Amino acid sequence: MAPVKVGIAGLGTVGSGTVNVLQSSAADIARRIGRPIEITHIGARRPNPHCDIGDIRVSADVMALADDPELDILIELIGGTTVARELVLRAIANGKHVVTANKAMIAEHGNEIFAAAAEHGVDVAFEASVAGGIPILKALSEGLAANRINWVAGIINGTGNFILTEMREKGRDFADVLKEAQELGYAEADPTFDVEGIDAAHKLTILASLAFGIPLQFDKVYTEGISKLTAEDIRAADHFGYVIKHLGIARQTSDGVELRVHPTLVPKEVLLANVNGVKNGVMVEGDAVGPTLFYGAGAGSLPTASAVVADVIELARTLAVPQADRVPYLGFQTNGLSDQRVRDIDEVECSFYVRLHVRDRTGVLADITRILSEQGISIEALHQQDVDGDSPVPIVLLTHTVRESAMRQALEQIGALGDVIGDIMRIRVDTLGA
Ligand SMILES: NC(=O)C1=CN([C@@H]2O[C@H](COP(=O)(O)OP(=O)(O)OC[C@H]3O[C@@H](n4cnc5c(N)ncnc54)[C@H](O)[C@@H]3O)[C@@H](O)[C@H]2O)C=CC1
Ligand SMILES: N[C@@H](CC=O)C(=O)O
Ligand code: NA
């Protein structure tokens, strides 16, 4: 049979990995599909020494791929949301299926892209966009399709998890580890996307849509990054029996869904607390299956290419299937998507870790506990560290479950006390069903 012809736009970390996997697994892929996959066109501004593209046609202008009548599938790996969106919409308009690793583009423009794809009868596959090589999107849209999903909680940014792990295990400096993550090809073009939680928010947007059958709503995700975490917090969390992880959490409640990305104290014995380095882990709790955990490399050239090529293989197997008969873009029929509301962060209920520094003066602790009690917040554990001389005294406490709005108001009042010095750190705690 004639080969399935694909074009690859972008020959960076993921693009070169995709070339390498398509080449190294060519014989097995042909055995799976019944015919070969051939890369016939690459969009790149410069060669990449990490892959050998032989005499494959190269265009500096990626739009040439969208207009190439030979291509069955366009693989978008340039990143960003402007040229990539234009490229993908143009390929769709020209009747091509699309595979992408671009979570920013799907989270922010996916609703528009899927509408265009439905109009032109083509598919858009994006497994690589969430948790790299872990087949979590396929798990949600197919493997767990029998379930009503209660919640999804995941470490979904490899760079951030790599930084937190190296800080905790080796006492390394934040900036130094971030630089290494960039050199290893884990970080986004703009690494603030990784450390400020934007990348995780893009991925959570996608996960939540596939879990709950809701439209993509990136603008509704509450997002906090990891850049303000200190070695002191990592040590204090450890003292109380927790590990700090940067989690994306999507939870179904009786009154709407919660969509939030923030550092979280997770009990040490929970499996997710032991997902380290660039690895990602995603927990999904379904009503029939109960809790499940998906683990693997969340970033990097070959692991991400694994997901890209799996999407290409699936499309190549099903080129003749009409779009209406395929797995829907978000796992639910577009006219079956729910319009339930997204809760405000102030409505969320959880327990909190709070760390602050105070002047060593009689009565300051009483002031703090009075304010907490006035807001209905009870303390589960409190640790006050001994210090020498007049140095500020670090106080760390854990609360019982409290509504976010009450915690916020209490911390505003505590912060205004004359004897509280500097910023107060508060981190949400989640036992993840344990
Ligand atoms: N690096 C990783 O581990 C992962 C990356 N992703 C996503 O995959 C996509 C690609 O990421 P990377 O390969 O890491 O980025 P990268 O920066 O290594 O590669 C992107 C390549 O596209 C090229 N490019 C950008 N705009 C172009 C244009 N207009 N015309 C021609 N070439 C253009 C760049 O020169 C670069 O070679 C992004 O959407 C990223 O978020 C997803 C999962 C993991
Ligand atoms: N920058 C991202 C790459 C994969 O999505 C990450 O570190 O997870
Ligand atoms: Na994935």
Domain extents for the chain? 4-132+302-336, 136-298, 345-429
Q: Is 128 a pocket residue for ligand 1 (Cβ < 6 Å)?
A: yes
Contact between 169 and 281 (Cβ < 8 Å): no
Question: What is the model's pLDDT at position 212?
Answer: 98
How far is ligand 1, taken at its centre, from the CA of residue 79, in Å? 5
Please enumerate in sequence order all residues whose Cβ is within 8 A of that of 323, keeping only pairs 6 or more positions apart, or say none: 117, 118, 121, 122, 123
Atom of ligand 1 nearest to the CA of 185: 1
Q: Is 132 a pocket residue for ligand 2 (Cβ < 6 Å)?
A: yes
Question: What CA–CA distance (Å, rounded) separates 60 from 55?
Answer: 15
How far is ligand 2, taken at its centre, from the CA of residue 149, in Å? 25
Question: What is the model's pLDDT at position 387?
Answer: 81
Question: What is the model's pLDDT at position 354?
Answer: 98
pLDDT over 90 at 391, yes or no: no
CA of 203, nearest ligand number: 2
pLDDT over 90 at 1, yes or no: no
Mean pLDDT, residues 131-155: 98
Q: How confident is the model at residue 386 (pLDDT cuts 50, 70, 90)?
A: confident
How far is ligand 1, taken at its centre, from the CA of residue 258, in Å? 30
How far is ligand 3, taken at its centre, from the CA of residue 134, in Å? 4
Atom of ligand 1 nearest to the CA of 76: 9
Instruction: With residue 150 as reference, give the H or E element that holds it.
Output: strand 149-155
Instruction: Name residues with Cβ closer than 5 Å to ligand 3, which is an ion.
Output: 127, 130-131, 134, 307
User: Which residue out of 103, 203, 245, 279 is catalytically annotated?
Assistant: 203
Question: pLDDT > 90: what percent of the chain?
Answer: 97
pLDDT tens digits, one per residue of 287-339? 999 999 999 999 999 999 999 999 999 999 999 999 999 999 999 999 999 99
Question: What is the model's pLDDT at position 221?
Answer: 98
CA of 133, nearest ligand number: 3
Regarding beta strands 242-253 and 149-155, do their DSSP bridges make them parallel or antiparallel, or are they unpaired? Answer: antiparallel
Mean pLDDT, residues 376-393: 90
Atom of ligand 1 nearest to the CA of 105: 39
How far is ligand 2, taken at its centre, from the CA of residue 49, in Å? 22
Based on the number of CB atoms within 10 Å of its own CB, is 155 exposed (0-12), middle (13-18) or buried (19 or more)?
buried
**The pTM is what?**
0.98
User: Which residue CA neighbors atom 1 of ligand 2 most closely?
Assistant: 187
Q: Is 33 a pocket residue for ligand 1 (Cβ < 6 Å)?
A: no
pLDDT over 80 at 137, yes or no: yes
Q: Which amino acid is at 195?
A: V
Sign, Cα dihedral of 124, 187, 214, 93: negative
How far is ligand 1, taken at its centre, from the CA of residue 322, in Å? 30
What's the CATH fold of domain 345-429?
A: Alpha-Beta Plaits (3.30.70)
Question: What is the model's pLDDT at position 246?
Answer: 98
> Superfamily assignment of 136-298 in CATH?
Dihydrodipicolinate Reductase; domain 2 (3.30.360.10)
Closest alpha carbon to 361 in 340, 383, 337, 390: 390
Q: How confident is the model at residue 385 (pLDDT cuts 50, 70, 90)?
A: confident
Tell me if residue 112 falls in helix, strand or coil: helix
The CATH label, of 3.30.1110.20, 3.30.1330.10, 3.40.50.720, 3.30.930.10, for the domain at 4-132+302-336 is 3.40.50.720
Mean pLDDT, residues 354-369: 94
Mutational pocket test of ligand 1: of 13, 134, 192, 199, the residue with most ligand atoms within 8 Å of the beta carbon: 13
Residue 203: active-site member: yes
pLDDT tens digits, one per residue of 198-222? 999 999 999 999 999 999 999 999 9
Question: What CA–CA distance (Å, rounded) separates 368 from 370?
Answer: 5
Question: What is the model's pLDDT at position 389?
Answer: 77
Judge whether 136-298 and 345-429 match in fold: no
Q: Which two tokens stand for residue 379?
A: 């303390």
Q: Is 45 a pocket residue for ligand 1 (Cβ < 6 Å)?
A: yes
| Mean pLDDT, all residues of the chain | 97
